[in-house]
Amino acid sequence: MCVVVVGSVAYDGVETPHGRVDRMLGGACTYIALASSYFSDTKIVAVVGEDFAKEDEDLLASHGIDLEGLERLPGKTFFWEGVYSADMNDRTTLRTDLNVFADFKPKLPPTYREAAYLILGNIQPSLQTSVLQQMNGVRLAGGDTMNYWIKDYRDELLETIRAWDFLLINDSEARMLSGEHNLRRAAAKIFEMGPKTLVVKRGEYGAILFRGNTHFILPGYLLEEVFDPTGAGDCFAGGFIGYLAERGFDLKKGHIDAKELSRAVTYGSVMGSFCCEKFGVDRFRTLTRHEIDRRFDEFRAFTEF
Amino acid sequence: MCVVVVGSVAYDGVETPHGRVDRMLGGACTYIALASSYFSDTKIVAVVGEDFAKEDEDLLASHGIDLEGLERLPGKTFFWEGVYSADMNDRTTLRTDLNVFADFKPKLPPTYREAAYLILGNIQPSLQTSVLQQMNGVRLAGGDTMNYWIKDYRDELLETIRAWDFLLINDSEARMLSGEHNLRRAAAKIFEMGPKTLVVKRGEYGAILFRGNTHFILPGYLLEEVFDPTGAGDCFAGGFIGYLAERGFDLKKGHIDAKELSRAVTYGSVMGSFCCEKFGVDRFRTLTRHEIDRRFDEFRAFTEF
Q: Please determine, for residue B115, whether its predicted confidence score (pLDDT) is greater than 90.
A: yes
Judged by phi (left if over 0) then psi (alpha if -120 to 50, else beta), residue A231 lies in: left
Query: What is the predicted pLDDT for the residue at B251?
Result: 76
Mark the ranges of chain A whose per-residue pLDDT is less than 70: 254
Percent of chain B with pLDDT over 70: 100
Percent of chain A with pLDDT over 70: 100
Q: How many CB pairs lie under 8 A apart between chains A and B?
A: 80
Binary contact (A302, B224; C-beta < 8 A): no
Binary contact (B259, A181; C-beta < 8 A): no
Query: What is the predicted pLDDT for the residue at B230?
Result: 96
Select from B256, B29, B61 the least CA-distant residue to B143: B29
Binary contact (B206, A219; C-beta < 8 A): yes
Which among A205, A214, A217 is the nearest to B303, CB-wise?
Answer: A217
d(CA B304, CA B239): 21
Query: What is the predicted pLDDT for the residue at A1?
Result: 87
Q: Please determine, for residue B252, whether its predicted confidence score (pLDDT) is greater than 90.
A: no
Chain B residues at the A interface, defined by Cβ less than 8 Å, are: 87, 181-185, 202, 205-206, 208, 214-220, 222-225, 259, 262-263, 265-266, 300-305
Which among A214, A222, A300 is the nearest to B183, CB-wise?
Answer: A222
**Dihedral sign from CA coordinates of B46, B50, B54, B55:** negative
Binary contact (A259, B304; C-beta < 8 A): yes
B217 bridge partner residues = B208
Chain A residues at the B interface, defined by Cβ less than 8 Å, are: 87, 181-185, 202, 205-206, 208, 214-220, 222-225, 259, 262-263, 265-266, 300-305
A118 bridge partner residues = A4, A141
Contacts of A220 in chain B (CB under 8 A): 217
Contacts of A303 in chain B (CB under 8 A): 216-218, 303, 305
Binary contact (B305, A202; C-beta < 8 A): no
3-state secondary structure of A137: coil
Exposure string of A82-92, with b = 16+ CB inside 10 Å and e = fewer, is bebeeebeeee
3-state secondary structure of B194: coil
The alpha-carbon gap from A302 to the nearest alpha carbon of chain B, in Å, equals: 5
Query: What is the predicted pLDDT for the residue at A254?
Result: 67
Binary contact (A215, B182; C-beta < 8 A): no
Select from B162, B160, B181, B159 the least CA-distant residue to B171: B181
Binary contact (B217, A215; C-beta < 8 A): no
At B152-163, the pLDDT tens digits run 999 999 999 999
d(CA B183, CA B236): 19
d(CA B65, CA B239): 14
* pTM of the predicted protein model: 0.95
Q: Please determine, for residue B276, whether its predicted confidence score (pLDDT) is greater than 70.
A: yes
DSSP A40: S
Ordered DSSP codes for A209-267: EEETTEEEEEPPP--S-----TTHHHHHHHHHHHHHHHHT--TTSSS--HHHHHHHHHH
What would the mean pLDDT of B281-299 be, rounded to a whole number?
98
B89 — pLDDT class (breaks 50, 70, 90): confident
Disruptive mutation site among A85, A210, A259, A305 for chain B (greatest number of B CBs within 10 Å): A305
Question: How far separated are the first and last CA of chain A, in Å rounded?
Answer: 34
ipTM > 0.85, yes or no? yes
Query: What is the predicted pLDDT for the residue at A251?
Result: 75
Query: What is the predicted pLDDT for the residue at B253?
Result: 74
Contacts of A281 (CB under 8 A, 6+ apart): A24, A25, A26, A30, A31, A34, A59, A231, A275
